[in-house]
Amino acid sequence: MYQQNYYDLSTYISLSGVEVGKHLYWKIGNYNIHGQVFIVSWLVISVLLVIAFIGTQKLERVPNKFQNFMEFILEFLQDIAKNQIGEHEYRTWVPYISTIFLFILGSNWAGALIPWKLIQLPEGELAAPTNDINTTVALSLLTSIAYFYAGLSKNGLSYFLRYIEPTPVLLPINILEDFTKPLSLSFRLFGNILADELVVSVFTLLVPLFIPLPVMILGLFASSIQALIFATLSAAYIGEALEGHGDH
């Protein structure tokens, strides 16, 4: 009986150590870092910086096509922040909401458009940074820090009174809500991007040419929606934190 339980326990332990896919690890101190996530992330960041730099050079009163495009993107991102945070306080948070949206959109599109499998690595393969749970959790924790900072900077310690509203009985539920917000943000983004890349990969293996193209187009649309959802919910959480306990 003891021996059987020992084998069962060892089986569970071995299953818990199984990894999905292979990763290129960089050893930094005592930590293993997913190298492919850093490579593609910095590529996305570099492209965004170059576009931002080019788009802000030689601004004119009568904008050209590229300046028109950049102004449209800025107005779109400002509208997200304004609608969720409010007319009077949204400007402070436009840089954060814009950065989150553009990085996620760039990461998602990098995974959907670029044939990373053609680039050979010693182990693992390049892919969208957002199909790695570590990336999505980090982005979600940034949003958590942002809305706690927003609430505390405006309302001080009275911000925590929201946990006992409308009744102190709801204290555990209100605390639990702050833990579920980053979890839901991170797993929603991670699950959708990973599922999209898996679907494209399976279709590519089964029907190499015609079927993956419409699926990839649909993936681009879904990737854009996921970036919009993440940015909108982040802005909504910040707006909720800025309301203050006396505004309900």
Q: Which helix (H) or strand (E) holds 150?
A: helix 133-155
Please give the structure tokens belonging to residue 100.
Answer: 């989150």
Give the DSSP letter of residue 164.
G
- pLDDT tens track for 2-28: 444 444 444 434 433 334 556 666 777
Evaluate whether 151 touches 242 at the Cβ level (below 8 Å).
yes
Nearest to 201 by CA among 44, 21, 42, 25: 21
C-alpha distances in Å from residue 139, one per residue of 47, 97, 156: 19, 11, 25
Residue 97 has pLDDT above 90, yes or no: yes
- pLDDT tens track for 192-234: 887 777 776 676 666 666 656 676 777 788 888 989 999 999 9
The better pLDDT of the pair 128, 101 is held by: 101
- pLDDT tens track for 157-186: 877 777 777 777 778 887 888 788 888 888
pTM, 2 dp: 0.80
Evaluate whether 112 touches 220 at the Cβ level (below 8 Å).
yes
